[in-house]
Structure 1
Amino acid sequence: MRRTQKDTEESARVISRRGLFLGGTMVSFAALLAGRMRYLQVEEADQFRLLAEENRINIRLIPPNRGLIHDRNGRLIAGNEQNYRVVITREDAGDLEAVLERLSTLIPLSQEDIDRTIREAKRRSGFVPLIVAERLTWDQLSKIALNSPVLPGVSPEVGLSRVYPMDTDFAHVVGYVGPVSEKDLEAQENPDPLLQIPKFQIGKIGVERWTEDILRGSAGAKRIEVNAVGRVMRELDRQEGEPGDDIRLTIDAGVQNFAQVRLGEESAAVVVMDVETGDIIAIASAPSFDPNMFVRGISHTEYAELTENDHRPLANKTVQGAYPPGSTFKMITALAALETGTVTGQTGVRCPGYLEVGDRRFHCWKRSGHGTVALERALSESCDVYFYDVALKVGIDKIAEIGRLFGLGERPDLPMSAITDGVMPSKAWKQERYKQEWRIGDTVNASIGQGYVLTSPLQLAVMTARLATGRAVKPRLIHMVGNETVPVEPAPSLGLSAENLRAVQQGMFAVVNDSRGTAKSSQIVEKAWLMAGKTGTSQVRNITAAERARGVISNDQLPWNRRDHALFVCYAPYDKPKYAVAVVVEHGGGGSTAAAPIGRDVILRCLAGEMPPLSAYPASQRGRIETQLKAMPLRDPETGAPSQSRA
């Protein structure tokens, strides 16, 4: 049907309105898009440029060089060494297993190493470098470089790793570093970002741990360009971090080495203190271990050898060991009696070989007794009954007060691991600890350093330094941090009577120099270096009445772990004290035979500044001592390298 003019005009008007509407909509949409594009490209340009830059550029931390540790004379005892290692990138290697097999012909690489690398590669992205082997020699690294065309994806790297050139000498003092563990991270409220770096190492024990914040330093950073999948394309710039501060200890490496070697195969400890400053000159625990094993990776076999050894090489006996001090404690009992006026230096006590308390008999080490003895002879010959008697008159609380004054039962403030408080018992202590009343027999036992009394070799050294000076000398281990010397605090007086202190010192002098002194055989004959000391023997087993009746079994007839501990404390020179020494030999038998000779040799090494001179020993002993000193495998005093000593 033919459309009329009117219908045509009406259709045209409808089409025009729709066209205008659609056109307006399109123009509006275009204008909106243009506005949005202008907003994103002009007004938000800086923000999107930053986002794009962050996707293209990564910032990675650079571990700082760890601070060095030296002895008091500047000899290196913990340093850093170059660590040559080889890494492989899976996506560049192609056939990973084949490349690793070829690599194993150039460097020591076991099938276990190859399997471990393949397993690690499957867990990580293909562009992440994996460490295949560490601590390679320069020759091995050169071989890899020469064969690089047939080793796709393989590349060498150079880093730093901790090294301990004195190995066993400082293991218990300095400690060692190890990889960061989850426990390490949990222990910190705001962990340093450095700790997130794979295989980053921190101090685990000893000075390395307790001065971690000083030694670690601060991280550097590098900006690297990566592609869309995160692969490193190039390094844009680098800012090195701040290395950690160096630390200088108070320890003399030469004396430390001498002490460590002198302990030999014993399960023992020795501590040397400067009585004026409190500086620890040597602090040796035997047997020791090589801390480098823990840095490089210790095997299960090696670790089992350390943990299953009954001499406990991993334990630092100088500060962790808590031992009954035996007769080395008798000076404390004596001072408590003197300070309270219970006795004077001339008061006599009769020793028939035992003291009866109630229905129990407490024996003296000398079965026949010492007769009537005063303080000097009681110390010189170590009469037990004398100290039983005066302790009962004084009471345990006064003895404990004097003991704490001399550093017993108090934790020394040093950057070392697992330091024991020891035990200086009192009535209140027993009530709190065991919910029991203090008994009179407890006082008798404590008077000669048995029963509940426990001390560490370090605490015994502190006690001896205070006995020598009458001042509250505090031990210290850090001499310098960076270029700053750690100040020495003047030690205040203990507030004791000079007369009473002198009476005890004279008794200690007689121990070593009197003809009947228990340490007479360890006398120093050099007049300028005369020594005062005290032997000690502490029981680790009960001796029954039946055994006493038939005769006490001698230590050399007992299994090693049932023998008495041997102890010795000393200081020298007597008239102007410079050094104090404490020695503990676990299950060594007698203090006079096992511990005193070690103490004499070590203090002579300090006084002489070199090998102990033969002239300082009694003439009858010089041949034996010369042979002994020559056989000691000491380090060279200049280089630190192992060498045969010369007396």
Structure 2
Amino acid sequence: MSTSLGNSRRDADLSKLFSRRLVLLGGAQTLMLSSLVGRMYYLQVVEAQRYHTLAEENRINLRLLPPPRGRIVDRFGVPLAINHQNFRVLIVSEQVKELDATLDRLGKIITLTEGDRHRVMRELKRKRRFVPVPVRENLTWEEMAAVQVNAPDLPGVQIDEGLARIYPLGENTSHILGYVSSVSEDDLANSSDPLLQLPGFRIGKAGVERQFDRVLRGKGGNTQVEVNAVGRVIRELSREEGESGAELALSIDTRLQQVAADAIGEESGTVVVMDVMTGEVLAMASQPAYDANAFTRGLTSEEWKNLVGNPKGPLANKPIAGQYAPGSTFKMVVALAALEAGVIRPEQTVSCPGHYELGNAKFHCWKKGGHGAVDMVNALKHSCDVYFYEVARRLGIDRIADMARRFGLGSVTGVDLPGEKGGLIPDRTWKRAVMNDVWHAGESLVAGIGQGYITATPLQLAVMTARIANGGLGVKPTLVRQSHRDPRLNLPDPKPPKDLGVVRQHLNIVQQGMWDVVNSPGGTAQRLKLPEDLGQMAAKTGTAQVRRISKAERDTGVIKNEDLPWERRDHALFVCFAPYDNPRYAVSCVIEHGGGGSVVAGPIARKVIVETLKLDPARRAPETASAVRPNKEG
């Protein structure tokens, strides 16, 4: 009996314990279920909008679209840089069973180099299998059509259409326009523009393409595309086109640009044509040149090797980056400085026996027998070195330097191009700072004929000539057409040029000397006189030595330029303006190692000024000049 009672009590205790555990388990389950329900409510109701947005972002991608690059045209609207239809052939790896066989078949239709094949294989390994990889760009219409016709035999191969930058005039405008090329790592590091992240996007690397790259790029558009879980595009949902780049109108006349390039021919040199009233650059040829289209499509290693290995420097922008001793073209500046300082009167003569002695040193005139007694006008006409040795000695370098800088030498002009050099106009302060030495009297003599430390760019020489021609107005060169200034270019409004403060009578004397160079018997460029119907031009010849002539060589006879290696020959220079009675155009010409200025550079400049006067592009311009030249009597 007692045993049964004990068992019953034990069973009752176990039942109570089981009931308590059941209650606890049920409570825990209820609590967990409540938490799950609460969390589901929070996610599906409270956070519903947020997770809907995240899901849409995973399903819909917003992609940037490159805008059309802005056109570049000349002063009359002739296209210089445009966008051309670009057919590309692409290949998608996941759609190709036998990649090598497909490339072999494609190679029988269009030209594929081993380099193309290696590049494609490398890109296919780097990218996802569904991402198209470019095989070749810039297909001709015939090549594109051939690929399309053979599409059934080329699984995974497709044609894509885009825009490529084209330069219709090729080499003739390459140094002005520059070129576009692929974005580099440095470009990415120095810019926050998302357009640079686009595959195949190209930016300006030289010339005005680089100078105005941001406004020529335009603003990107966008497209919304639906993608699957691995990022493959399913369909396009919407598209918003971007804003094309600004159109850039240059002051260049393509006809004159062609004339200038043809006139230089096989020589290594440059010609600059400038409007003396507005500063607009009408032509700026640099020879030899390069084809900017080759940079757009991508240079081969052989093409690059030929460019960098050419001793005549086809990649150098000679008008703004070539720094040359100005030689006798500098004598007008020295004459103006002398007249302003009063160290010599224009009618006062200096005797030239063919050399000038200073201490134990002897400085030679280009004419061995000398010019006899010459005044300022005749010294310019005959380009007498001895006259300017004497004038420079009286002046000193600082007063020469001051006048040179007023006429645009010794600092960058600020033309609308990157990479411009400033040349060098030395003075006593410069020599102390750079060489820790005093200025010597003999150095002033050499500076008086545009040699020694003095260097200038061809564009600076054109500016100098324009300021002499226009009556002493400080015009500055520009390549952007003043009547077509797109607000997006953010350029300052043109201002009338400042007066340089040079006495008008002094300018008349220098202009008369330049007139005599061409139009008076005995002038160094008399044979370059213009046809009567085109009026008259004023000019100055120049020859700049690039080597030192020893006393022994002078005693035995100076070696002629044609008997020297090309790189040791003198530079030939020539500056001029026309028409003389109402100046409008200035021309500077520098031919590297060309020899004499009157023999080589002069005829080239004459061809250009003749065509300039015939075409008269400045007076055909729609706007009026921004400055009025003082009359001859001033």
> TM (normalized to structure 2)?
0.94
Equivalent-residue separation in structure 1 for 2:301 and 2:592 (angstroms): 27
What does residue 202 of structure 1 align with? 203
Q: Distance in 2 between matches of 1:499 and 1:405?
A: 17
Cα distance change, pair 542–459 in 1 and its aligned pair in 2 (3 A)? same
Q: Could you give the per-residue CA deviations for residues 404-447 of structure 1, whole angstroms, max 9, x where no partner exists?
A: 00000010112223211000110001111111111111101000
* Corresponding letter in the other structure for 2:182: P
Name the counterpart of 1:153: 156
**Mapping of 1:499-578 within 5 angstroms?**
499-526=505-532, 529-578=535-584
Deviation string for 1:254-298 (max 9, x for gaps)? 000110111000001010000010000000011111111111111
Letter in 1 for 2:258: N
Matched, 1:461 2:462: yes
- In the alignment, which residue of structure 1 is the partner of 2:486? 482
Q: Structure 1 residues 112, 582: CA separation in 2 closer, same or farther (over 3 Å shift)?
A: closer
2:276 paired residue number: 275
* Residue-by-residue CA offset, 1:465-493 (whole Å, 9 max, x unaligned): 00111110111111134389974321121
The residue type paired with residue 499 of structure 1 is Q
CA deviation vs aligned residue, 1:80-102 (integer Å, no higher than 9, x gap): 10110111111121222222222
CA deviation profile, 1:39-75 (whole Å, cap 9, x unmatched): 0111011111111111111111110000000000000
Deviation of 1:191 (Å): 2.0
**What is aligned with 2:626?**
none
Equivalent residue letter for 2:496: P
Q: Aligned-residue CA RMSD in angstroms?
A: 1.5
Letter matched to residue 281 of structure 1: L
SS of the equivalent of 1:132 reads strand
- Residues 606-632 of structure 1: CA deviation (Å, up to 9, x unaligned): 111189xxxxxxxxxxxxxxxxxxxxx
Q: CA deviation at 1:127?
A: 1.3
Task: Give the equivalent residue in structure 2 for 1:118.
Answer: 121
Quick check: 1:97–1:114 contact (8 Å CA) kept in 2? no
1:39-118 to structure 2, matched below 5 A, reads: 39-118=42-121
| DSSP 3-state at the match of 1:319 | helix
In the alignment, what sits opposite 1:593? 599
Instruction: Give SS of 2:320's match.
Output: coil
The match for 2:285 is: 284
CA distance in 1, matches of 2:600, 2:360: 35
Residues 111/506 of structure 1: CA separation in 2 closer, same or farther (3 Å cut): closer
1:116-145 Cα offsets, whole Å, 9 max, x none, are: 312221122111110011111223222322
Q: Could you tell me how far apart the structure 2 residues matched to 1:382 and 1:525 are?
A: 24
> How many Å separate the matches in 2 of 1:11 and 1:561?
115
| Whole-angstrom CA distance in 2 between matches of 1:152 and 1:239 | 32
Question: C-alpha separation between the residues in 2 aligned to 1:594 and 1:110?
Answer: 45
Deviates more, 1:229-238 or 1:328-337: 229-238
- Deviation sequence 1:176-215 (CA, Å, 0-9, x none): 00000012223x2x42011011221000000000100110
Q: 2:612 aligns with which of 601, 606, 610?
A: 606
After alignment, is 149-158 or 167-176 more displaced? 149-158
- Matched with 1:141 is 144
1:35-434 alignment runs, 5 A limit: 35-186=38-189, 188=190, 190-434=191-435
Tell me what 1:497 maps to.
Answer: 503
Q: Deviations 1:232-258 (Å, cap 9, x if unpaired)?
A: 111111111110000000010000011
Q: Measure how far apart 1:312 and its partner are.
A: 1.0
Secondary structure of the 2:311 match is coil
In 1, Cα distance between equivalents of 2:62 and 2:292: 34
Query: Which shifted more, 70-79 or 136-145?
Result: 136-145
Match of 2:621 in 1: none
* Letter of the 2:274 counterpart: M
Task: Measure, in 2, the Cα distance between the counterparts of 1:414 and 1:249.
Answer: 12
* Inter-partner Cα distance in structure 1 for 2:517 and 2:607: 17
Residue 258 of structure 1 aligns with an amino acid whose one-letter code is V
Structure 1 residues 492-501 or 144-153, which shifts more? Answer: 144-153
The 1:308–1:526 alpha-carbon spacing in structure 2 relative to 1, beyond 3 Å, is same
Letter in 2 for 1:206: G
Structure 2 distance, partners of 1:143, 1:374, is 76
Alpha-carbon distance in 1 for matches of 2:391, 2:17? 127
For structure 1, the 5+ residue unaligned runs are 612-647
Give the Cα–Cα distance (whole angstroms) in 2 for the partners of residues 113 and 591 of structure 1. 49
Distance 1:505 1:600 in 2: 18
SS of residue matched to 1:222: strand
User: Unmatched 5+ residue regions in structure 2?
Assistant: 618-634
**Amino acid of the structure 2 residue aligned with 1:505:** Q
CA gap 1:111/1:303 in 2 versus in 1, 3 angstroms: closer
Aligned sequence identity (%): 49
Deviations 1:134-183 (A, max 9, x none): 11122322232233233222111000000000001100000000000012
CA distance, structure 2, for counterparts of residue 68 and residue 125 of structure 1: 36
- Aligned-residue offset at 1:569: 0.3
AA aligned opposite 1:374: D
Q: Which amino acid aligns with 2:478?
A: R
1:484 and 1:33 map into 2 onto residues whose CA distance is: 59
- Structure 1 residue matching 2:95: 3-state secondary structure: helix
Counterpart code for 2:312: H
Residue 449 (structure 2) pairs with residue 444 (structure 1):
no
TM-score in terms of structure 1 length: 0.92
Give the number of equivalent residue pairs.
609
Q: How far does residue 527 in structure 1 lie from its aligned partner after superposition? A: 5.6
CA-to-aligned-CA distance 1:536-592 (integer Å, 9 cap, x gap): 000011111111111111111111111111100000011110000000011111001
Residues 366-424 of structure 1, C-alpha deviation per residue, up to 9 Å, x if partnerless? Answer: 11111111001000000101000011111110000000000000101122232110001
In 2, are the aligned partners of 1:93 and 1:153 still within 8 Å (CA)?
yes
For the residues of structure 1 that align with 2:533 and 2:340, how far apart are their CA atoms? 31
Name the structure 1 match of 2:631: none
**What secondary structure, in the 3-state scheme, does the structure 2 residue paired with 1:478 have?**
coil
Deviation >6 Å, runs of 4+:
483-486
Q: Answer whether contact 1:66 1:243 (CA < 8 A) is retained.
A: yes
Aligned AA for 2:550?
Answer: T
- Contact kept, 8 Å, 2:534 with 2:613, in 1: the verdict is no
**Amino acid across the alignment from 1:474:** K
Contact 1:141 1:156 in 2 (8 A): yes
Alignment check: 8 A CA contact 1:245 1:481 kept: no
Distance of 2:441 and 2:115 partners within structure 1: 65
